[in-house]
Amino acid sequence: MVRWPAAILFICCLTALLSAQASKDQASKEEKSAVPTAASPSAKTQFPMDAFPEFSAVMVGSVMNGDVREGYIYRSGNLVRAEGPEEHGYFIVDLTTLESFGVSAGGCIHDGNPFFRTAPITTVRPGYTVERAAAGQETMDGHSCKVEDVTLSSPRLAAPVKLRFWEADDLQGFPVKVEFRRANGHNPVIHYKNVVVGPQDPTLFIYPKDCQPSPKAPKPKAAPAAKKPAATAPAATPQH
């Protein structure tokens, strides 16, 4: 239990930090005026993950660059469950409030940010505009997939968030791959395997009601003020 508060504090802050970095990358990209590519507009305005309120899968990777960890993820309505760090405990995220509840053998901690391994489900927020554009057909992980480019826009974002989805035809369009497309070229990728679309066991989403609030990060101590040099006494006037 000693390390659990520090772990939840670290990982719950990652989503906000990564989202801010993505916005900066997209702003930089637009300033470079890249040549646009042709894409067919889609009539759908629903975020792709919203079409799957009930599913389970093994998630490989995350919104963090270079993350190749595997972990189970489950969704039932407005609740998402994902494994905790190093498979210690799990997190429940309430999609209506975007709050996280970290549960371990040592107890439960509540945080006001979504657990980062629930992205891209938690990438879209209330009030965001969703634009979808068809980007072809590809085979991914053995599945024939429709490829879509998705753009999320909001006055609260410094720049639109761009993602690409590979939606498997044999899984009712569930994405087996999601790529966060960033201006710096470092595009985190998430793969989903062993996907099961359908109702989930409700006992997977139970968490204590008395979760402790996560500790706040300590504020850095201010540097000590430089000491002022002692005032020099005026020279004595010679007596004549």
Q: Give the mean pLDDT of 37-48.
A: 60
Tell me if 225 is assigned to some domain. Answer: no
Predicted confidence (pLDDT) per residue in 162-174, tens digit: 999 999 999 999 9
Tell me if 229 is assigned to some domain. Answer: no
Tell me if 218 is assigned to some domain. Answer: no
Number of domains in the chain: 1
Closest C-alpha among 168, 161, 169 to residue 22: 161
Amino acid at 138: E
Tell me if 227 is assigned to some domain. Answer: no
| CATH number for the domain harbouring residue 174 | 2.50.20.10
27 sits in which H/E element:
helix 4-31
**At residue 12, does pLDDT exceed 50?**
no
For 15-89, strand residue ranges (E) read: 40-41, 54-60, 70-76, 79-83
Higher pLDDT, 30 or 185: 185
Higher pLDDT, 38 or 134: 134
Tell me if 162 is assigned to some domain. Answer: yes
Predicted confidence (pLDDT) per residue in 95-139, tens digit: 999 999 999 988 899 999 999 999 999 999 999 999 999 999 999
Q: Give the mean pLDDT of 65-73.
A: 93
Tell me if 240 is assigned to some domain. Answer: no
List the domain range (segments joined by +) for residue 110.
Answer: 4-31+39-213
CB atoms < 10 A from the CB of 216, how many?
A: 7
DSSP string, 147-206: EEEEEEE-TTSSS-EEEEEEEEGGGTT-EEEEEE--TTS---EEEEEEEEES---GGGG-
Tell me if 27 is assigned to some domain. Answer: yes
Tell me if 165 is assigned to some domain. Answer: yes
